[in-house]
Amino acid sequence: MKVRKAVILAAGYGTRLLPATKSVPKEMLPLVDRPVIQYIVEEAVAAGIEQVIMVTSAPKRAIEDFFDRDFELESVLAESGKHDLLEAVKRPAEVSMAFVRQKERKGNGHAVTIARDFVGDEPFAIFFPDDVIFHDLPAIGQLMNVFARVGGTILAVQRVPREQVVQYGVIDAQEVEPRLYKVQGVIEKPAVEAAPSNLATVGRFVATPELFDVLEETPPGRSGEIWLMDAFDRLIARQNVYAFEYEGVRFDCGRPLGLLQASIHLALQREGLGQDLRAHLHSLTP
């Protein structure tokens, strides 16, 4: 069955980017001249996703406004002949999108359950928008291709230094072919000595609708929240769960260094910016 819908989890506080995120959603912070969330949505659309369900919260109204039309701004740009900018501001509103709010902070697993009525009884993609991934073939598209071949639920993973496993969900898995693993267990943020591997999950998943039932049965974990990784671990008893070591360059834009690195990565490739930025960076070298 084709993956047509994506759920983007954008309800978090953004505490790692305070004080900037006190009044501005972290997903709206810019990478060069577009907000982080636009890159996530564009990845979904490039992979063939037909509808995006965005899970937000009350302070995130700016995200909804960004993906709406602004006829006054469009009129000003049209009258001034700024057609490139006009197309740029109209493009986000062309995506088929629904918004739903997480009214209580009960964890990322709980946030997924809120989208159940929108997803229905079909497989769907899940995005954590902190993770921005660049590759000619969208990372979520890579997972969708694997899903089309093997079915089941697919988790995106990458190898991380052993000391960093405490920051991620980590899989216990057996390799079945290059880059593809059958998952035998998932542990959320394990201690270094307890981690079964250094294959860490990142914010791209393709899930079957059975995940919703499992989430309803998953008890709260640490901090009293329902964690998606705990649900994936329980899902293994019901169906095959796989992990795919995706190809691409990933930046954690939920923290200052990752946001800065992603901006530089993009700017260096941008015509009209790359040459001057590269010269400036070289001028900083002692």
Instruction: Give the model's pLDDT for residue 10.
Output: 95
Q: How far apart are CA 263 and CA 33, in angstroms?
A: 9
Segments of the chain assigned E as strands: 5-9, 30-31, 34-35, 51-56, 97-101, 124-127, 131-134, 153-159, 169-177, 180-188, 199-207, 241-245, 249-252
Q: Distance (Å, rounded) from C-alpha 249 to C-alpha 217?
A: 35
| Bond from prior residue into 256 cis (ω within 30 degrees of 0) | no
In this prediction the pTM is: 0.94
| Amino acid, single-letter form, for residue 92 | P
Q: Looking at residue 12, what is its pLDDT?
A: 87
Please tell me whether residue 23 adopts helix, strand or coil conformation. Answer: coil
Q: What is the DSSP string of the chain?
A: ----EEEEE-----GGGTTGGGTS-GGGSEETTEEHHHHHHHHHHHTT--EEEEEE-GGGHHHHHHTS--HHHHHHHHHTT-HHHHHHHHGGGGS-EEEEE--S---HHHHHHHTHHHH-SS-EEEE-TTEEEE-SS-HHHHHHHHHHHH-SEEEEEEE--GGGGGGSEEEEEEEEETTEEEEEEEEES--GGG-S-SEEEEEEEEE-THHHHHHHHPPP-GGG---HHHHHHHHTTTS-EEEEE--SEEEETTSHHHHHHHHHHHHHHSTTTHHHHHHHHHHT--
Mean pLDDT (10-residue bins), the chain, 286 residues: 95 90 94 96 96 94 94 93 93 94 92 96 97 97 96 96 91 94 92 92 97 94 87 95 97 96 96 93 85
Q: What is the pLDDT of residue 221?
A: 80
Looking at residue 224, its pLDDT comes to: 86
Q: What is the C-alpha to C-alpha distance for residues 92 and 114, in angstroms, rounded to an integer?
A: 23
Distance CA 269, CA 275 (A): 9
Give the pLDDT confidence score for residue 201 in this predicted structure: 95
The full set of domains in the chain, from first to last, is 5-283 (3.90.550.10)
